[in-house]
Amino acid sequence: MADTWLTSLITETPQEGFELAVTLSRRGVKYTQPNTEVLHKLRSEYAENASGLTAASQVVAINFQTVAAANNYWRKSNSGCCQ
């Protein structure tokens, strides 16, 4: 992949972390299947498939775990919150 878009996993808030996790997941799919025509064709197959949607949610959750760990679970930035 030619463009460098991910310069850090550090985010200000858990919400931003979750959004980054979604982006990581989507870009992972796009990186794995770069043919957009095939991607759009396959979308209808998993869009209404509970197993496919669950698997997609699991990928987002794994990416969110990674981002959360990189951010020390936001403990440092939320001084009274989670220590």
| pLDDT, greater one: 71 or 83 | 71
Distance (Å, rounded) from C-alpha 46 to C-alpha 29?
Answer: 13
User: Closest by alpha carbon to 55, among 37, 29, 19?
Assistant: 29
Q: Tell me the percentage of the chain whose pLDDT exceeds 70.
A: 88
Taking residues 50-79, what's their average pLDDT? 90
pTM: predicted TM-score of the whole model, two decimal places: 0.82
Confidence band (pLDDT; 50, 70, 90) for 46? confident
25 sits in which H/E element: helix 14-32
Distance (Å, rounded) from C-alpha 66 to C-alpha 21?
Answer: 8
**So what's the pLDDT on residue 78?**
54
Distance (Å, rounded) from C-alpha 12 to C-alpha 9?
Answer: 10
**So what's the pLDDT on residue 83?**
39
